[in-house]
Amino acid sequence: MWLVLTTILAVATAAPPQADVEAAARRLETQLVAPCCWSQQVSVHQSPASDEVKRDVRARLVRGESEQQILDDYVVQFGTRILVEPPARGFNWALYLLPPVMLVAGAGIVFALVRRFSSRRTAAGATNDTEAPTPSGSNDAYARRLEDELADLD
56-100 per-position pLDDT tens digit: 999 999 999 999 999 999 999 998 888 888 776 777 777 778 889
48-63 vs 18-31: helix crossing angle, rounded to 10: 140
pLDDT in tens, 114-131: 988 887 776 666 555 555
* Residue 138 binned pLDDT confidence (cut-offs 50, 70, 90): low
Q: Where are the domains of the chain?
A: 14-87, 92-153
pLDDT in tens, 21-38: 888 889 988 889 888 888
pLDDT at 73: 93
State the Cα–Cα distance between residues 134 and 54, nearest whole angstrom.
86
Q: pTM for the whole thing?
A: 0.52
pLDDT at 139: 81
Question: Do 41 and 85 contact (CB within 8 A), yes or no?
Answer: no
CATH 2.60.40.10 fits 14-87, yes or no: no
State how far the alpha carbon of 49 is from the alpha carbons of 43, 71, 105, 118, 150, in Å.
12, 16, 42, 58, 86
